[in-house]
Amino acid sequence: MYTLEKIKQHIVDLVNKEYDNEAITIADFSFPPNSEMGDLSLPCFKIAKITGQAPAKIAEDLFKKIKPDKIIAGAKIFGPYLNFIINKNYLSSAVITEIEKAKDQYGNSEELKRKKIMVEFAHPNPFKSFHIGHLRNIILGESLVRIFEARGAKVIRTNYQGDVGMHIAKCLYAFKDVKPENYPESADDRVALLGKCYAAGAKAFEEDEVAKGLIKYINKQIYLGQDKEIKKLWELGKKWSLEKFHEIYERVDTRFDREYMESEIMNDGLKYIQEAFDRGILEKSDGAVVFNGEKHGGDTRVFLNSDGLPTYEGKELGLAFKEFTDFGKLDLCVHNVAIEQISFFKTTFKVEELLAPELFQGKQYHNAYEFVGLKQGKMSSRKGQVVLGNDILNEAVEKIGAIIKEKGELENVSDISERVGVGAVKFAFLKISPFKYLAFDINESISFEGNSGPYLQYTYVRIQSILRKVKGASRKVKGFEELFTEAKEHDLILKMSKYPEIVEAAGKNYDPSEIAKYLFELAQMFNDYYHAVPILKAPEEIKNARLVLIKAVGQIIENGLKLLGIKVVEEM
């Protein structure tokens, strides 16, 4: 139990002691809008409902009964709210000692201990480009994994990729005409070629009936695997795609325990479609097999088309059973997929629960995040104008490198630029709630001022630079808490005490933006403190106490950025 939680529990015990029942819990507290009103706010509406008294009267009574002690310095009444002032010395000592002891584990908990959670994310399809949408998916998914792990869960990382389907048939239609001697050598050129072939095939499918028929034939052969030439091209194109994808995974510091392919789960999908049909869960309709969702308050969707091939829905059945058995019992499977698939998951979840309630009931969650685009322009992979994820990363790294070179001479500019540039894109994606549309602006993301990754990186570097100037800065200062006399110091420490709650909330809400927002606010408070209060020029004991304080701030920034998938740098 972290300090802030202990303080809340202490007040809960004092308040509930005045009543015969459990009147409040630690979840009932909020924070006043400004520090002058106190540190913790207790709304008295809940107690008023229990007692039948007016909320303002409850606040007045508690104000008289609860006396200051080593944890509570006092209280203030604001109508129906009783705001508590925390003993500054107690808070300072407890929080900073906690951070010094826990280090990179500060903010972590065992809340999800013994829980096994699978997060399925990324989902780029072979033969198609890794675009800006995949970039949001993988950045969000990686952060969620880290947040769940920080809360104590055993997390399994999976990636489901569509290596069969019409998009591949359209690509192979044009790819078959490329001579082997003209195959590119680099991964970038290979995926660029596949992208051009897909665009050409998609255009031919729409405009040429003969081509359309051939593409349909290719599509069926991808499923059947009988045409050796088509199978060979399919395997080669997939190999090229996956090689490039793995380069990107490494670049954004992501890995997977298992990468599922549509082709490997098709037969299982057919098996479960048949079982669901035999049990009356699915039914025939116009030569296809469908789920009549209207009976269950949902949509009607096709699981087996009239050609006898499983649709995405049908293949999802095969995937679900594999995911829930390949790694033992799962407590939760999170599907990190954009909002366009809400109906898809609502339907497939229902069919899976009807098939095997003991396996799936209440254990699947669709993390339906919003779309992403640029502040200007549109994307269209059909026309070959897709915004590539790697291009965004490259541009950010290049621009950051130019800025760093202007600031001074550093030996490892390329490494620093890569970390800061990739981190800048990640922060720009994660600072916006995943449930809101993201209009990405490259120049805004690389700014060293304002709500950005580089601003946080620079704040962390500033702290490390100060600490390097003083030998023994990490030395424990006896009685340091009594040396914090500045209001800004108390505000900083109170903010630091909130970090574990922020991590918990981000996990429960599937929303890393809560951590991003917190880190920006903490960095702002530190920089305000840095400019207003002398650190290295302060008297020796006070200087050492302040060094202990800023070191703790740096630790939280590093911990929080790590949960966002961002690596810090020591200089820039």
Residue boundaries of the structural domains of the chain: 3-86, 389-563
pLDDT tens for each residue of 202-241: 999 999 999 999 999 999 899 888 999 999 999 999 999 9
What distance in Å separates the CA atoms of residue 536 and residue 409, rounded to the nearest whole number?
25
Mean pLDDT of 133-141: 98
pLDDT tens for each residue of 59-94: 999 999 999 999 999 999 999 999 999 999 999 999
Residue 474 has pLDDT above 80, yes or no: no
Confidence grade of residue 380 (pLDDT, cut at 50, 70, 90): very low
Tell whether domain 3-86 is in CATH 3.30.1360.70: yes
Among residues 357, 385, 333, 338, the alpha carbon closest in space to that of 192 is found at: 385
CB contact set of 280 (below 8 Å; sequence gap of 6+): none
Q: Which residues pair with 40 in a beta bridge?
A: 84
Burial of 506 (0-12, 13-18, 19+ CB in 10 A): buried
CATH superfamily of 389-563: Isoleucyl-tRNA Synthetase; Domain 1 (1.10.730.10)
pLDDT tens for each residue of 174-194: 999 999 999 999 999 999 899
Residue 384 has pLDDT above 90, yes or no: no
What distance in Å separates the CA atoms of residue 217 and residue 243, rounded to the nearest whole number?
27
Q: Which residues pair with 388 in a beta bridge?
A: 131
pLDDT tens for each residue of 45-63: 999 999 999 999 999 999 9
Secondary structure of residue 336 in the 3-state scheme: strand
The fraction of the chain above a pLDDT of 70, given in percent, is 97
Secondary structure of residue 73 in the 3-state scheme: strand
What distance in Å separates the CA atoms of residue 313 and residue 548, rounded to the nearest whole number?
56
Q: What is the pLDDT of residue 20?
A: 72
Q: Do residues 298 and 346 make contact, with C-beta atoms less than 8 angstroms apart?
A: yes
What distance in Å separates the CA atoms of residue 151 and residue 141, rounded to the nearest whole number?
16
pLDDT tens for each residue of 399-438: 999 999 888 778 899 999 999 999 999 999 999 999 999 9
288-291/116-120 β-pairing: unpaired
Phi, psi of 394 (to 5 degrees): -60, -45
Confidence grade of residue 473 (pLDDT, cut at 50, 70, 90): low
pLDDT tens for each residue of 551-567: 999 999 999 999 999 99
Q: Do residues 9 and 25 make contact, with C-beta atoms less than 8 angstroms apart?
A: no
* C-alpha distances out from residue 407 to 195, 402, 460, 572, Å: 39, 9, 17, 8
CB contact set of 476 (below 8 Å; sequence gap of 6+): 100, 548
What distance in Å separates the CA atoms of residue 247 and residue 244, rounded to the nearest whole number?
5
Q: Do residues 215 and 165 make contact, with C-beta atoms less than 8 angstroms apart?
A: no
Q: Which long-range contacts (CB under 8 A, 24 or more apart) does 473-478 make?
A: 473/544, 473/547, 473/551, 474/551, 475/544, 476/100, 476/548, 477/541, 477/544, 477/545, 477/548
Secondary structure of residue 225 in the 3-state scheme: coil
* Mean pLDDT for the chain overall: 94
Confidence grade of residue 386 (pLDDT, cut at 50, 70, 90): confident
The fraction of the chain above a pLDDT of 90, given in percent, is 90
Residue 382 has pLDDT above 50, yes or no: no
pLDDT tens for each residue of 343-377: 999 999 999 999 999 999 999 999 999 999 998 75
Residue 276 has pLDDT above 70, yes or no: yes
Mean pLDDT of 253-274: 97
Confidence grade of residue 478 (pLDDT, cut at 50, 70, 90): confident
Residue 383 has pLDDT above 90, yes or no: no
Residue 378 has pLDDT above 70, yes or no: no
pTM: 0.95
Mean pLDDT of 144-153: 98
pLDDT tens for each residue of 12-26: 999 999 987 789 999
What distance in Å separates the CA atoms of residue 88 and residue 282, rounded to the nearest whole number?
64
Q: Do residues 401 and 414 make contact, with C-beta atoms less than 8 angstroms apart?
A: yes
Q: What is the pLDDT of residue 296?
A: 87
Q: What is the pLDDT of residue 193?
A: 94
Q: Which amino acid appears at position 394 of this protein?
A: N
CB contact set of 141 (below 8 Å; sequence gap of 6+): 119, 120, 121, 122, 157, 254, 336
Q: What is the pLDDT of residue 104?
A: 98
Q: Which helix (H) or strand (E) holds 259?
A: strand 258-261
Burial of 404 (0-12, 13-18, 19+ CB in 10 A): buried
Query: Could you tell me the strand order of the sheet in which 40-43 lies?
Result: 40-43, 81-86, 72-78
Q: Do residues 198 and 127 make contact, with C-beta atoms less than 8 angstroms apart?
A: yes
What distance in Å separates the CA atoms of residue 43 and residue 38, rounded to the nearest whole number?
13
What distance in Å separates the CA atoms of residue 191 and residue 182, rounded to the nearest whole number?
14
Fill in the DSSP letter of residue 113: T
Burial of 245 (0-12, 13-18, 19+ CB in 10 A): buried
| 59-68, 160-169, 418-427, 471-480: segment of lowest average pLDDT | 471-480
Confidence grade of residue 385 (pLDDT, cut at 50, 70, 90): low
* C-alpha distances out from residue 395 to 418, 428, 445, Å: 10, 14, 11
